Structure 1
């Protein structure tokens, strides 16, 4: 990933928070047929390894897990956070010099590591249970694995395989108008904050958090 120093995010709390709030990652692997990308919900275990460990599962019919079982190569998990188009009309500079062009603000995390395959029903059940609790929390009537008939649940669990990625290295990029002057940044925050789009307002919140040093 092209990563100019002024866009680099090094705060581990912000990086972990992006993975938790945007858990649908893109797992990029290299196999016999070339590059492959699978879109999977991940759990981040922050206490395992220097950068944490990612957990997920794939369909048994998906050939990627067999390819990974025989591979020593690193894989890449990409997590996309909030993003928004930035119009030149939001910059104060437009009203003075007109020397401005459109851009796009975004936050993204790249996690690199070698995948460990778990073709183990108990391990898979543990990950599915954690994923379920993570996504069901806050619901009035949260679904639990025990709600399903045991035989049905056993059949469904046998159709998936677990993946574990101890994170060997992390890259995080917060492109949030750090290369603009203060007046231009204020204009972007105000314009995106007033937008009707959720993504625009999320980027405005991330820019404000960066200014105040809080987590976003």
Structure 2
């Protein structure tokens, strides 16, 4: 992922907060077997410091590739919107001369994968995931000797992804003038399609932190 200086994460807390706000679904990319393209798996995950926890179905073809090469990437993308060129035209120029772009936030985790097959360890992984996704506890106990999860554990494998590098990108025209960024955020809220409102929130949040861009 290419990151311009003005699109870079401002600090570790920025991407950590963004992930913690509910951006817990991404794409796991695994190096392909010889003669085959990379394998990409959409999946939920939980983030615990430098560790990401995932589980996938045992029949998933990704396992052979991971066993051959445990170096993987998990990519999370959100708060994105298409910005028409008419919104980005320079002052004093025809609106049609503006060049469109995409706004988005993205975090890429480079990891080393450790496969979890021990039943007790898989049960603990599921308990930790459920504590995140169903914090109210409205689910059956996850135990190797109790239904419903006990009989289902053989059908999954767990993954512990040890994070070795993080690349964060928040692409919201932060190199543009303050008035321009404010106007685009207002237009996003007014348009109100898809993820326009959370995209505007990210642009305004970055604007408050950065102000005028200084190389």
Q: Which runs of 4+ in 1 moved over 6 A?
A: none
Q: Secondary structure at the match of 1:180?
A: coil
- Give the structure 2 partner of residue 49 of structure 1: none
1:25-60 deviation line (CA, Å, top 9, x unaligned) = 1000013133100011111011xxxxx111101111
Q: CA deviation at 1:119?
A: 0.7
Q: CA deviation at 1:133?
A: 2.1
TM-score with structure 1 setting the length: 0.85
- Give the structure 1 partner of residue 56 of structure 2: 58
In the alignment, which of 35, 46, 66 is matched to residue 43 of structure 1? 46
In the alignment, which of 48, 55, 72 is matched to residue 75 of structure 1? 72
1:112-134 deviation line (CA, Å, top 9, x unaligned) = 01111111111211221222221
Q: 1:147 to 1:28 in 2, by over 3 A?
A: closer
In the aligned structure 2, how far is the partner of 1:147 from the partner of 1:53?
21
> Is 2:17 the partner of 1:17?
yes
Structure showing greater relative contact order (alpha-carbon pairs closer than 8 Å, 6 or more residues apart): 1
Q: CA deviation at 1:65?
A: 2.3
Q: Secondary structure at the match of 1:146?
A: coil
Q: CA deviation at 1:92?
A: 6.9
> Is 2:188 the partner of 1:185?
no
User: Gaps (5+ residues) in structure 1?
Assistant: 47-51
> Is 2:201 the partner of 1:200?
no
1:84-128 deviation line (CA, Å, top 9, x unaligned) = 11123334735x212412111000011101111111111211221
Q: Secondary structure at the match of 1:34?
A: coil
- Give the structure 1 partner of residue 30 of structure 2: 29
Q: CA deviation at 1:147?
A: 8.5
Q: CA deviation at 1:66?
A: 3.6
Q: Secondary structure at the match of 1:115?
A: strand
- Give the structure 1 partner of residue 213 of structure 2: none
TM-score with structure 2 setting the length: 0.86
Q: CA deviation at 1:197?
A: 2.5
In the aligned structure 2, how far is the partner of 1:150 from the partner of 1:179?
56
User: Gaps (5+ residues) in structure 2?
Assistant: 211-215
